A and B are shown apart, each in its own frame.
Chain A
Amino acid sequence: MEEAKIFPNRELEEIFSKRVDSAVPDIGDTTLFRRIIEQIAAVNKELWIILTMVSIAGIMNYVVTSQYMILGFYTFPTIMSAYYYGRRHAVMTALLTLIIVGCMTYFKPTIFSGTTQLSLGYNTWYHVMAWGSTLLLTAYAMGSLYERHQQKTEELRETYYGIIMILRQFIAKDQYTENHCYRVSIYATKIASYMGLPQDFIEDIRAAALLHDIGKLEISRDILYKAAKLTKEEFNHMKRHVPKGELLLEPVRGPLSRILPIILAHHERWDGSGYMGLKGRDIVLGAWIVAVADVYDALVSDRPYKKGLPPL
């Protein structure tokens, strides 16, 4: 007995382990240009934030009378860095800030000693070092918090996709449906990435495409497998699998509640002549994407249906 695998084979696993971002297309020059700009912005975002804050603090050094207050401003880059980028970045930023402040103290010892009561007094170095260690501790603690949070989120995300994969195997009672769901999710994510949709949205569409036949769980397998012509009654039974999917997922909240409308409406037609008569923008965009992917796969692949049955 072969061990149970989420992925039927290695090639599929490779296809699926590739996230959509590797398949982001570059249609024409404008998109490419936009992507380059986005890349530069993404790489240097942190640097810009820190540089801006340090320079603001530096300028204020010469503007504000109470110089001691300025040390407070120098903590902001570290805190922001911990908030956005995690422990390593935060500690690095704290060290950098310390070096800058240290240099300033060294070259101009009076810089942090103002005329107000809050001034650092004679022992400037003592104060700067005390401030610096607090800053480092803050950076370490905040960064650790951030990283723990990230780890938990990642774990939850993996669990979510694992469960979708397992669920998909329950939905797909036969090899055809299983691979069909796979292919539809591949097509749907490709189309979605060509439409320039955000990554989260694409992930929702991928999940919806994998589960789009969920309602078939309660449908008699005989009908699905039946190669003979379906009677009207049987076809009606078949059509019912869409609302059944909705009932199954009704109590669900969170990401699955976003993919529910997609699953529900993927058999609708744009002009409103579908199962529920909804049309156009009444239906979430994801449903239209899954609809195209579903029909395309139904047309292209070999399936055990009566020849000539509309691929819906």
Chain B
Amino acid sequence: MSTMPLSVTVLTRKGSPPFEAKEFIEKGAGKEFDPKVVEAFLAAFRRGELDVPNVVV
């Protein structure tokens, strides 16, 4: 227990909630991302198409 190697304790960044991620991408339209792609992304997001089943996440 106490001699657990340090290298194993990999920090895992917890993913943000999908809504926050969506806002980030929405804000990035025209700066970081193609506005048209973001538009399509938002349309897909609103219809819940970007919810990936737990097995993949």
Name A's B-contacting residues (CB within 8 A). 9, 11-12, 15, 23, 25, 27, 179, 182-183, 186-187, 190-192, 194-195, 225, 227, 269-271, 285, 288-289, 291-292, 295-296, 299-307, 309
Contact = CB atoms under 8 A, between A and B. Distances in A.
Contacts of B35: 270
Contacts of B15: 299-303
A183 B11 contact: no
Contact of B32 (A27, A195, A270, A299): A270
A65 B25 CA distance: 71
A296 B20 CA distance: 10
A291 B33 contact: yes
A187 B50 contact: yes
Interface in B9-51: 9-18, 20-22, 24-25, 28-38, 40-41, 43-44, 47, 49-50
A288 B37 CA distance: 7
Contact of A25 (B32, B34, B44): B44
Contact of A270 (B30, B41, B55): B30
B43 A27 contact: yes
Which of B25, B31, B44 has its CB near the most chain A CB atoms (within 10 A)?
Answer: B44
A9 B55 CA distance: 8
B18 A285 contact: no
Contact of A300 (B16, B32, B33, B55): B16
Contacts of A12: 55-56
B18 to A, nearest CB: 5
Given A271-B30, A301-B57, A307 B43 contact: no
Given A190-B44, A271-B31, A289 B37 contact: yes
Contact of A292 (B12, B30, B33, B56): B33
B5 interface: no
A296 B33 CA distance: 11
Nearest to B49: A190
Contact of B11 (A192, A227, A301): A227
Contact of B34 (A270, A300, A305, A307): A270
